[in-house]
Chain A
Amino acid sequence: MKRTIIATVNNTSGVMNRITGLFARRNFNIESITVGMTENPAISRMTFVINVDDERGLDQVIKQLYKQVDVLKVRDITDEAIIARELALIKVVAAPQHRGEISALVEPFRASIVDVGRESMTLQVTGDQQKVEALIDLVKPYGIKELARTGITAFKRGTKKSDFETPKYSIIN
């Protein structure tokens, strides 16, 4: 099952290395990782999308992350009200006669055209994973020359139900 996990970590050199190394050696399957500074420059925030077999696998990922001295807080936010966004840059093959067609696709996705070349156009799309994938599928027939995706970064929504501070996961049942 696919889970979205966020972690706040000390913004020290090598912390990314620690985390990715941990995932690799524990045989955890990561789909994406994003990392960036938070409002506090000493602290970074990581968002992982991982694939785990079952609850126990998920439990292990979270516990192993917690074991890292530089990891401050870990949460599985998959089942919570979240805003999850990804940015993708798509360079599509676009002969001049197709440009209009492609431009028409862009609009309903609230994507934008950020570069136009003689034979190609570069689209930028932001949104949750499904939306990004839907646009990629749509432009595929034209031919994708290059594709770059940032991976998901996620946040809990500002308005929430009452149990905000109750962690989803506890070591005591």
Chain B
Amino acid sequence: MSPKVKEVNGRELKVENQEMTGSSMLIQALARENVDVIFGYPGGAILPTYDEIYRTGIRHILSRHEQGAIHAAEGYARISGKPGVCVVTSGPGATNVVTGIADAMIDSLPLVVITGQVATTVIGTDAFQEADVVGVTMPITKHNFQVREVDELPRIIKEAFHIATTGRPGPVLIDLPKDVSIASGFFNYDQPVDLPGYQPTVIPNKLQIKKLSEAVTKAKKPAILAGAGILHAGGSKELLEYAEQQQIPVANTLLGLGSFPGTHSLSLGMAGMHGTYTANMTLHEADLLISIGARFDDRVTGALQHFAPNAKVAHIDIDPAEIGKNIETAIPVVGDAKEALRMLVEENGEAPQIESWHQQVNEWKKEYPLWYKEEENTLKPQRLIEMIYEETGGEAIVTTDVGQHQMWAAQFYKFDQPDHWVTSGGLGTMGFGFPAAIGAQFAEPDKQVVAVLGDAGFQMTAQEMSILQELNLPVKIILVNNASLGMVRQWQELFYEERYSNSLFPIQPDFVKMAEAYNIKGWKVEEPNDMQAALKEALDHEGPVLMDCRVTKDENVYPMIAPGKGHHEMEGIKP
């Protein structure tokens, strides 16, 4: 076999079948997988790999905490569609990425995580910086490996990338003991992947597609619930085509925002706990509910016994285990969302006769739009998001943490394009949004990336401002600062008789000074009237910025489905 030469960041890497060390194999394999950036943090057990990173010059982004590295890898994966690669050391290095792995698992993001491990000779002896990382991450990875022999390494890396990126994407972890990374072995990366126990169904069953198509034709009140599976499959164009062909209204899940243009006349906005009244009522009244790449999370469905009571449910998902997990499904379609939608478009079934349904939906839209009260002398967080939308022309990549600011961003930033939205949906991870924005910026260096964060969540991973400083990475940090754990505070107000236990911050750091400490330009905005101008200035600034936006402290997110309630029982639907 002739040696291949590959360029990685301007350096030539010889890629060929030859004798080399485990850590060398790892870097070679990453080059073969077209990995252009690694997020990580070095340490004892992973030193041989870091030596190889140094020697080959493969691009490595040094976070200041492993959690920052893994969330950056997630943001990179979500926006680029490529697997995010994260390298950390054993023990604490590995346990520090656990949150990010769990986050990627529940939100189906492809990651390959490489953790150092103590030498195989001392595994199980409670050695220095030893932790059973394979055991710890077993339930929160799609699959994980511990490399016992250096000769297994090429196969394992190849399988890891294959498993992470195919089927329903997810995180795969490789635990690499130090002695294995030093040992010499034969590098052969040309063996085909052979995993008899892992054969995801990509092409849906034609008969099921036909059945679904016929059900649509007969439906009186059809609705589509579009989830992130469409984004992972790259099927937004097909969804638009299909929805327009059949004139079916489309609701999005939180993670699915952008899979259908938010300003389209068939768009209902987001469904779920803080979704639009229209989206929720449409799902509630629907007689045919087509869920595509969504998993009926409890934040979407509300109380299951009230969910879509009149609907026949069709569920398109690449993961068969999601079908029927929460909701009884009449028409299951296992396969890739893009393929399924393409086949549905091709099927070109007769469009349903649903004028009165459209009328009803449009009435809801007109009668119950998203709302908030404008008040003098206070900046409404919803207005802030609207301003960001206006100032960025809806073109920015927006990332968030979890909580009120996340819901407002989801409600008021009308995502018209796919892959412009990174948020922690399933796990609801504070501290996610900022490092995820860093990863997103690496995936799309020329796009504007705006991290919309709460003042609490930002403080969980604020140290990653170092990356912005070091690389002059132009991420725009916008703090929706209400000096509280907003969503916790809201629940305490509504369900705990205003006992604000540990949710209000009596003191806060000076965020502008914090930014300045990292040589990042900061703005503090307290006057609502100053906001627009400051925002414009900040977004136009070339390097990284931080905006500390003081918003109304006791603003709540509405409308809302209270816990245990159904879609038809939304509260706060009108001013």
- Residues of chain A touching chain B, judged by Cβ–Cβ distance below 8 Å, are 9-10, 13-14, 17-18, 21-22, 25, 56, 59-60, 63-64, 66-72, 171-173
A66 CA to B334 CA, complexed, in Å: 14
Chain A nearest CB from B313 CB (Å) reads: 13
23 contacts between A and B (CB under 8 A): A13-B146, A14-B134, A14-B138, A14-B146, A17-B138, A18-B138, A21-B138, A21-B139, A22-B139, A25-B139, A60-B321, A60-B324, A63-B321, A66-B320, A66-B321, A67-B321, A68-B197, A69-B163, A69-B195, A71-B197, A72-B197, A171-B332, A172-B208
Given A14-B138, A69-B197, A172-B205; A56-B334 close (CB under 8 Å): no
Q: Which residues of B contact A17 (CB under 8 A)?
A: 135, 138
Q: Using an 8 Å CB-CB cutoff, how does the interface string of B318-360 with A read, 1 for contact, 0 for none?
A: 0111011100100010100000000000000000000000000
A63 touches B320 (CB 8 A): yes
Contact with A along B297-321 (1 / 0, CB 8 A): 0000000000000000000000111
The listed residue (B196, B198, B205, B324) touching A59 by CB distance below 8 A is B324
Closest to B172 in A: A69
Q: Which residues from chain A contact B237 at a C-beta distance below 8 Å?
A: none
Those 6 A-B pairs whose CB atoms lie nearest each other, nearest first: A63-B321, A69-B143, A69-B198, A72-B197, A171-B320, A25-B139
- Inter-chain CA distance A21–B134, complex, in Å, is 12
- Docked Cα-Cα span, A66 to B325, in Å, equals 14
Give the residues in chain B near A171, CB-CB below 8 Å.
Answer: 320, 323, 332, 334
Contact with A along B144-155 (1 / 0, CB 8 A): 001000000000
- Other than A69-B197, A70-B197, A172-B334, give 16 A-B pairs with Cβ distance below 8 A: A10-B197, A13-B146, A14-B138, A21-B138, A56-B328, A60-B321, A63-B321, A66-B320, A66-B321, A67-B321, A69-B195, A71-B197, A72-B196, A72-B197, A171-B320, A172-B332
Residue ID in chain B nearest A8 by CB atoms: B197
Taking beta carbons and an 8 Å cutoff, which residues of B are in contact with A?
134-135, 138-139, 142-143, 146, 163, 195-198, 205, 207-208, 319-321, 323-325, 328, 332, 334
Q: Contacts of B138 on A, CB cut-off 8 Å? A: 14, 17-18, 21
A9, A22, A25, A67 pick with most chain B CB within 10 angstroms: A67
The distance from the CB of A74 to the nearest CB of chain B, in whole angstroms, is 10
Query: Which residue from chain B places its CB closest to the CB of A10 in the assembled complex?
Result: B197
Residues of A within 8 A of B198 (CB): 69
Complex Cα spacing A64 to B325, Å: 10
Write out the residue numbers on chain B whose beta carbons fall within 8 Å of the beta carbon of A60. 321, 324-325
CB distance from A170 to the nearest CB of B (A): 10
Residue among A18, A63, A171 facing the most chain B CB atoms (10 A cut-off): A171
Q: Which residues of A contact B320 (CB under 8 A)?
A: 63, 66, 171
Quick one: closest B residue to A14, CB to CB? B134
A59 nearest in chain B by CB position? B324
A173 to B328, CA, bound (A): 12
How near does chain B come to A14, taking the closest CB pair, in angstroms?
A: 7
Shortest CB-to-CB span from A95 to chain B, Å, is 46
CB-based nearest B residue for A71: B197
Complex Cα distance, B146 from A10, in Å, reads 15
Across-interface contacts of A66 in B (CB, < 8 A): 320-321
Q: Which chain A positions have C-beta within 8 A of B139?
A: 21-22, 25
Shortest CB–CB separation between residue B193 and chain A, in angstroms? 11
Question: For residue B319, which residues in chain A have a CB less than 8 angstroms away from its CB?
Answer: 67
Which of the listed residues B142, B196, B197, B320 has the most CB atoms from chain A within 10 Å of its own CB? B197
In the assembled complex, the Cα of A60 lies from the Cα of B326 at a distance in Å of 10
B327, closest chain A residue (CB): A56
Q: Which residue of B lies closest to A171 (CB)?
A: B320
Q: What separation, in Å, do the CA atoms of A13 and B148 have in the docked complex?
A: 11
Cα of A17 to Cα of B141 in the assembled complex, Å: 14
Contacts of A21 in B (CB 8 A): 138-139
Contacts of A70 in B (CB 8 A): 197
Q: Smallest Cβ distance from A156 to chain B, in angstroms? A: 20
Asked if A64 contacts B321 (CB within 8 A), the reply is yes
Nearest Cβ distance between residue B132 and chain A, in whole angstroms?
A: 10
Q: Which residues on the A side are within 8 Å of B324 (C-beta)?
A: 56, 59-60
B372 CB, nearest partner CB in chain A, Å:
40
User: How far apart are B148's CB and chain A's nearest CB, in angstroms?
Assistant: 8
Least Cβ distance of A61 to chain B in Å? 10
In the assembled complex, the Cα of A68 lies from the Cα of B163 at a distance in Å of 11
Q: Give Cα distance in the complex from A69 to B193, angstroms.
A: 13
Output the least CB separation between A148 and chain B (Å): 27
Q: How far is the CA of A56 from the CA of B322 in the complex (A)?
A: 12
Which residues of chain A come closer than 8 Å to B196, judged between CB atoms?
72
Report chain B residues within 8 Å CB of A14: 134-135, 138, 146
- Which residue of chain A has its CB nearest to the CB of B163? A69
